[in-house]
Amino acid sequence: MAVDLSGKPIAITGASSGIGLATALLCARAGMPVVLAARREDRLADAVKQITAQGGKAIAVACDVAEEADCRRVVATTVEKFGSVYAVFANAGYGIEGPVHETTDFDLRRIFEVNFWGSMSLARAALDYMIPARSGHILMCSSCVSKIGLPYFAPYSATKAAQDHFSRAMRVELAPLGVRVSSIHPIGTATEFFDTATRNSAKPAMVAHTSPWLRQSADQVAKAVVKCLRNPKGEVWTSALTRFGIGLSTIVPGLTDRALMRAARKLKY
């Protein structure tokens, strides 16, 4: 039976734009009280205004997910304001592009702090409430590249792979305790992600050359997330074709490497 989301509170990180914002709006429309978390407070305030104007319940919490205390505060505020935390969507994240040997130690560590540790901190803070309640749903915004070490996106792919491995293990560990864990694997999505990656990368060849026509909308991903909240499943893919292609690439890695080398030559790294 589908889960009735009405009145079930959710905390979403990275809710100031893109997938997180679209998901927050859709969750509110499904009757969920929403806590929107990110660093840009003005964006969060606009989103809260939009949700409450439509009769929904929402509050904003300014947070940098790299700070464990901020993630704890997001979850504690959800419980304080809305009485419990039913779900968290660990969605905050960004990408950087460039050869591994030219990536600074600072950049490597920072992307893990935000994409990986940010998700872990949010999930672990939520579990303090979900396990005693024997109920809850943790969703992590991974990526289709979580299953493949994408050249020039190695740090990003690795953070998403780490997130995915943890999700998979936690899914099994937590099922007997009444908590569900799902990983979401979007393909290229039309959000600020590409602008941020271009700004943060010394050599943004791939992000600059990905055709906007190949990108799905943030609303498509948000719909998949809400569908997963209603009918929980372990992995959510927003493109069956990509899922098949990436599955195949793990069976024939040599062939995949040759195709990726050809693509990299065209991008002139």
Biggest alpha carbon distance in the chain?
55
- 55 or 212: whose CB is closer to ligand NAP? 212
What are the helix (H) ranges across 83-117? 105-111
Distance between CA atoms of residues 33 and 9, nearest Å: 5
Phi, psi (rounded to 5 degrees) for 38: 180, -175
Q: With residue 41 as reference, give the H or E element that holds it.
A: helix 41-53
Closest CA to 224 of 192, 193, 187, 260: 187
> Residue 98, interface with ligand NAP (CB under 6 A)?
no
Choice from 9, 20, 33, 151 touching ligand NAP (CB under 6 A):
20
- Please report how close the Cβ of residue 101 comes to ligand NAP at its closest, in angstroms: 23
CB of 132 to ligand NAP, least distance (A): 27
Q: Which two tokens stand for residue 91?
A: 């969605």
Interface residue with ligand NAP, options 93, 98, 155, 204 (CB under 6 A):
93
Residue (131 or 234) nearer to ligand NAP, CB: 234
SS3 call for 58: strand
Q: Which stretch binds ligand NAP (CB under 6 A): 2-10, 59-67, 239-247, 261-269?
A: 59-67
Minimum CB distance to ligand NAP, residue 105 (Å): 18
Alpha carbons 269 and 253: distance in angstroms, whole number: 21
Residue 61: alpha-carbon gap to chain centroid: 17
Are 182 and 232 in contact by the 8 Å Cβ rule? The answer is: yes
Site residues (CB under 6 A) for ligand NAP, limited to 170-189: 186, 188-189
Which of 9, 17, 24, 148 touches ligand NAP (CB under 6 A)? 17
In the window 123-162, what residues touch ligand NAP (CB under 6 A)? 141, 143
Among the listed residues 46, 68, 107, 192, the single contact to ligand NAP using CB under 6 A: 192
Which span sits near ligand NAP by CB under 6 A: 85-93, 96-104, 128-136, 244-252?
A: 85-93
Least distance to ligand NAP, CB of residue 135, Å: 25
Q: How far apart are CA 227 and CA 233, in angstroms?
A: 9
Catalytic positions, please?
A: 156
Nearest to 159 by CA among 102, 117, 98: 117
Judged by the rule CB under 6 A, the positions of this chain that interact with ligand NAP are 13-14, 16-20, 38-40, 43, 63-66, 91-94, 114, 141, 143, 186, 188-189, 191-193, 196, 218
